Amino acid sequence: MNYRDPELLDRLAAEYVLGTLHGRARRRFERLMATSPALREQVDAWQDRLAPLADQLTAVTPPGRVWRRLQGRLWGRSAGASAGWLWRGWALTASLLLAVVLVVQWPFPEVPAPQPEVVVSDRIAVLRDEEGAVLWTVHADPVRGQLSMRTPDGVPVEADHVHELWLIPPDQDPVSLGVLPAEGRLQVSMAPRIVELLMRSEALAVSVEPPGGSPTGLPTGPVVLQADLLNT
């Protein structure tokens, strides 16, 4: 059950105010309410909404015969008759309470325990030559599924070769992320499968390939650069 669902939480707030949310469900709701100002506002709103119900009741002075009959039932009859009258009074009270509860739909599902929020970080890598100069920077945005590759000063490449970027997963063969730009910046979209591999990989590599990239789906030329994948 999605505890972030506004409609669900509004119904639960109503049941909490009415007092029909019991046991573990009530305790979980209170824990959730302690961390959510918006949920506390919903509870306050339901309290304000239901409180006027009592104000709508108009006081009525009963005729004298009603009081005489009441006194007769309380004091002028047997204990069994008095008990019967009291039982009917309790039944009437319970019926009124049930009518108020029916204002809100039910049954209400139990509030699930709050789950820790999962934070997905961007991944970056800096590819340098042997002298430490930056050749490419790589920025991956897993949420948007975007991969950005940029070279600050351009990288000279022979006409019959390109540089291809590879993701190095811990438990399978390298996966191509595309051909690196010889100048400027290139942004590409990543498939969900690539994003999933990206989140559990720790390194990138660059190989020299024929124009258009590796024809086999795996590195065919020498691997000339490697870099660690870091979280931002």
Q: How many helices (H) and strands (E) does the chain have?
A: 7, 9
* Per-residue pLDDT at 110: 60
Residue of 44, 54, 47, 38 lying closest to 18 (CA atoms): 47
pLDDT per residue rounded down to tens, the chain (232 residues): 556 677 888 888 888 877 788 888 888 888 888 888 888 888 888 887 777 665 666 666 777 777 777 777 766 654 444 445 555 555 555 555 555 555 454 555 565 666 555 456 889 999 998 888 999 999 999 889 999 999 988 888 878 899 999 999 988 899 999 999 999 999 999 999 999 988 889 999 999 999 989 999 999 989 999 999 998 7
Q: Which residue has the tokens 């790589």?
A: 138
Sign of CA pseudo-dihedral 81, 85, 90, 94: positive
Residue of 145, 218, 219, 207 lying closest to 180 (CA atoms): 207
Check if the beta carbon of residue 209 is closer than 8 Å to that of residue 220. Answer: yes
**225 CB neighbour count, 10 Å cutoff:** 19
145: CB partners within 8 A, 6+ apart: 189, 190, 191, 192, 195
Query: Whole-structure pTM over 0.85, yes or no?
Result: no
